[in-house]
Amino acid sequence: MNFPSLFSPLKVGPYQLKHRLALAPLTRMRAAKPSLAPRPLNTEYYAQRATPGGLLIAEASPVMATGFGAPGVPGIYTEAQTSGWREVVDAVHAKGGVIFLQLWHVGRVSHSSFQPGGVLPVAPSAVAIADLKTGTADGKAVPYETPRALETAEIPGIIDAYRQAAKNALKAGFDGVEIHGANGYLIEQFLQSHTNLRTDQYGGSIENRTRFLMEVTKAVIEVWGADRVGVRLSPYGIANGSGEPDPMPLYTHAIEQLNPLGLAYLHFIEPRSSGTGRAEVNRQNVPSAMVLFRPIWKGVLITAGGFTGETADAAIRDGLADMIAFGRIFISNPDLPRRLQHGFPLTPYNRATFYGGEEAGYTDYPEHDELEKA
């Protein structure tokens, strides 16, 4: 057998997994319109990638209507969306898989054309993303707008939206949820000093900047119990205008605050792959999140970003991570666990089909056995 560490069992929360290879949460922009509910095509995509005792982390799903920054992204705040996700979950469970849903609010990584009533996106502070462009709802490339700073009194409502989304995910039958605190989205905007200029209890000190993350996490735990909740962070990431001048104090404090909660897992995005949604990158000579923070985090650690079978197996063997999430090569290899385990060749992915569209580049990648018969 190839990669014995990667294909050893692991307990994540209450779930006994048969291998340590997860599907990373991947935005694909193929939800039904205008409901933004998952549809049969999405069900097929996830079912293709489900394996007995394997973990899938479903794509980031906004917890409220203000949380969107892209077209065709599935939500988790309406009955139709919850019902659509139920179809996905049932299909994954039918193949013996375990599936978590990633809860999302993009904050300033949006445009007024996606916002109800065409208002400005919200953020911790009125700080625009510089030197990058975004797309409008009708596909034009424009500079990012300066977001509206949230009033202190509005923040509990957003936390309530995460709580309700967690309830909806539970109703849809998911096995757990992951809180998206990475890649420059709303939670990370609260965490980082250049996007959080607040002077209330959510800004200033590291403790205050971590408060929103902790309040969201505790709200979700109220619904699920801690052992079915994960958190994703991207220390040293640069996606969507993110970046902390000195990440170690901030993320050390955040992880130390998360430690006692008893979460299912902590999930890192490795810095070498930060921002891969926009371009093909593999940054060299950057810090490793798993190396830096493995000594601090006491629970199950998942990490993601540019791994191969060899490097994934080595990271687990060396104790730097407990599980590896794969993204791009899991898109083009729906049977990725079997291919790695048996040394079968991998199908290359087509970046042009990552976002939006129908079957092409989504559900039409063949399994290895189909290629052998061709």
- Known catalytic residues are 185
Pairing of strands 15-17, 21-23: unpaired
The tokens describing 114, both together, are 């996606």
Residue entry with tokens 């039904």: 32
CA-based nearest residue to 159, from 117, 202, 193, 200: 202
Q: Which residues pair with 268 in a beta bridge?
A: 233, 303
65 close to 97: Cβ distance less than 8 angstroms = no
